[in-house]
Amino acid sequence: MKLSARNVLKGKVKKIVAGAVNTEIVIELPGGAEITSIITKTSAENLKLKEGSEAYAVIKASNVMIAID
């Protein structure tokens, strides 16, 4: 797999919540951090995602905000 995105994080699918149109996917990264993504139900089905399977969180953003309390 080759991508232009610089942030490719490998983890395991922890949770899948399918809705009528979209599906929420939670990926647990090594160390326990989690990333949640909302993708179309069709995309989730095409990827054949299952809890416990390996997957990549691919992040491509032109802006990253930083905040403090």
* Predicted pLDDT of residue 66: 75
Helices marked H in 17-68: 41-47
Cut 0.75: pTM above it: yes
**Rounded mean pLDDT for each run of 10 residues along the chain, 69 residues in total:** 85 97 97 95 96 94 79
* Predicted pLDDT of residue 63: 76
* Predicted pLDDT of residue 31: 97
Location of structure tokens 């990827």: 47
Taking phi over 0 as left and psi of -120 to 50 as alpha, with beta for the rest, 9 belongs to beta
* Predicted pLDDT of residue 36: 93
In CATH, 7-59 is 3.20.20.10: no
Q: Which amino acid is at 41?
A: K
Q: In Å, how far are 7, 18, 55 from 50, measured between CA atoms?
A: 22, 12, 10
Dihedral through CA 58, CA 62, CA 43, CA 13, nearest 10? 30
* Predicted pLDDT of residue 50: 96
Domain map of the chain by residue range? 7-59
* Predicted pLDDT of residue 61: 77
